[in-house]
Structure 1
Amino acid sequence: MPRSFSAAPRRETLAYQNQSLSYTLVFRSRRTIGFAVRPDGSVHISAPAGTSPEWVAQQVLKKADWILKHQETFARRPAPAPTRHFEAGSPHYYQGRAYPLRFAEARRPAVTLAGDELLMATPAPLTPAQAEALLHAWYARQAGPLFAESLLRVWPRFAEFNLTRPTLSVRQMRTRWGSCTPSAARIRLSPELVRARPECLDYVLLHECCHLLVGDHSKAFYDLQTRLLPDWEQWKAELNALPK
């Protein structure tokens, strides 16, 4: 098998529409030129060995609008949410407020809010996985009453539709904040929602209630959601920024 050719990467910059367009260029054993825009906005060009940087620059200018469009798309994406940790002092959220985690010894496991701290008391030291499981169980116990309060705030917005009031249940979900079965008027919500501000919880519940009227995520659905909660995008963004 012949040895492939790959020169050292080089940085190049072009002027395009009164702005600088920078990219990393590498020459390889290939027949066509390749363009890639990465999530961090960086541009990477793979060009056939034997072509000149000047020829590559001409191809980049032809592709400039495509490159800028992808950079803009990545720039609009929210930053990844931080990861939760389960050591003493690590912040954990409850109803939108961060509480540092504190461990204490006790005969029975318990999680409580103690002033400005989230107190986790156990007979023996916990591994991070055990602390996470104990905290999730505590969230689940708080969820039912908080979800009921949210429904009292949200449901009056649907009075005009003469709908059957939905029943709520708590269910741990990996990729969703909530789900709805319109035919049974049943809504399931993740206990993780208790970490967010009540306005974020109300947004998710209203979203699921909208599915009682529109089952999909069509334009009609979002028109309804926007009419009932004009600032829903703000609460969605805040919710998705919570540590994962």
Structure 2
Amino acid sequence: MPGRKPEVTLRTAGGINYEAARRRVKNLNIRVRLDGSVAVSIPLGCSWADADRLVLERREWIERSKAELTARQAKMYRQPLPEKAEALAHFTRMSDEVYPAFAAVLGGQKPTIKVRDMTSRWGVCVPAKRQITFALQLYNMPAAAQIYVVVHEYCHFLVPNHSMAFWAQVERILPDWKARRMLLK
């Protein structure tokens, strides 16, 4: 039924606490959230025991993901964040450098640039609103990584998803995009 909340259960497997939710999905899916909690999506026909088995099988990956998340957050939050106005001016300058490659598709009108505190994304593009929002935290990342995010978001004006066509556009502008993206991890 549309709008119906999934059945959610808190479980433990192999010492790992996780939240299991029955959803309309084809496969069991597991993820480590930004707060370090673990979530498992379970197809409607699977048992809770199937979810426990998945958590046990992926235990090393879960623990490694949690450790990487903690290290990344510690590194990111060690540096003070700039004022939003300073970050906005910075990302607007970067955007102005990238804009000429996209001027034709944007009809000669620059997108609106915004900055906000985001913990799960480096940037968001809303083509319908002709708007790009950058994470305030991106300011503390290396310049090469920042340009990658700017180009990545601009490429969504060409291709709105992350299909092969999208990545081809990113590579056309930044042939070394993979190395730049690694700087964000």
The TM-score bracket by the shorter chain reads 0.5 to 0.7
Shift of 1:167: 1.1
- What letter is aligned with 2:102? F
Q: Which residue of 2 aligns with 1:173?
A: 118
Q: Number of matched residues?
A: 125
Q: Which residue of 1 aligns with 2:74?
A: 84
Q: 1:139 to 1:232 in 2, by over 3 A?
A: farther
User: Which runs of structure 1 show a deviation greater than 4 angstroms over 4 or more consecutive aligned residues?
Assistant: none
Of 84, 87, 98, which aligns to 1:143?
Answer: 87
Shift of 1:227: 0.9
Of 39, 44, 47, which aligns to 2:60?
Answer: 39
Identity %: 31
Shift of 1:38: 4.2
CA distance in 2, matches of 1:187, 1:162: 13
Task: Work out whether residues 170 and 189 of structure 1, in 8 Å CA contact, stay in contact via their aligned partners in 2.
Answer: yes
Of 173, 179, 193, which aligns to 2:138?
Answer: 193
5+ residue gaps, structure 1, are 1-33, 41-73, 86-90, 94-134
Question: What SS does the aligned partner of 2:68 have?
Answer: coil
More helix by percentage:
2
Task: Work out whether residues 94 and 147 of structure 2, in 8 Å CA contact, stay in contact via their aligned partners in 1.
Answer: yes
Of 144, 147, 151, which aligns to 1:206?
Answer: 151
Shift of 1:159: 4.3
Task: Work out whether residues 125 and 156 of structure 2, in 8 Å CA contact, stay in contact via their aligned partners in 1.
Answer: yes
Task: Work out whether residues 173 and 190 of structure 1, in 8 Å CA contact, stay in contact via their aligned partners in 2.
Answer: yes
Query: Which of the two has higher C-alpha Rg?
Result: 1
Task: Work out whether residues 105 and 157 of structure 2, in 8 Å CA contact, stay in contact via their aligned partners in 1.
Answer: no
CA distance in 1, matches of 2:97, 2:78: 25
Shift of 1:160: 5.3
Give the structure-1-normalised TM-score: 0.45
Give the structure-2-normalised TM-score: 0.57
Of 223, 234, 238, which aligns to 2:179?
Answer: 234
More strand by percentage:
1
Task: Work out whether residues 122 and 135 of structure 2, in 8 Å CA contact, stay in contact via their aligned partners in 1.
Answer: yes
CA distance in 2, matches of 1:230, 1:160: 21
CA distance in 1, matches of 2:74, 2:172: 35
- What letter is aligned with 2:101? R
Task: Work out whether residues 150 and 198 of structure 1, in 8 Å CA contact, stay in contact via their aligned partners in 2.
Answer: no
- What letter is aligned with 1:39? E
Task: Work out whether residues 103 and 110 of structure 2, in 8 Å CA contact, stay in contact via their aligned partners in 1.
Answer: no
CA distance in 2, matches of 1:184, 1:37: 40
5+ residue gaps, structure 2, are 1-52
Q: Deviations over 1:53-90 (max 9, x none)?
A: xxxxxxxxxxxxxxxxxxxxx9xx8x7151428xxxxx
Map 1:22-33 to 2 at 5 A: none
Question: What SS does the aligned partner of 1:173 have?
Answer: coil
Over the aligned positions, Cα root-mean-square deviation in angstroms equals 2.8
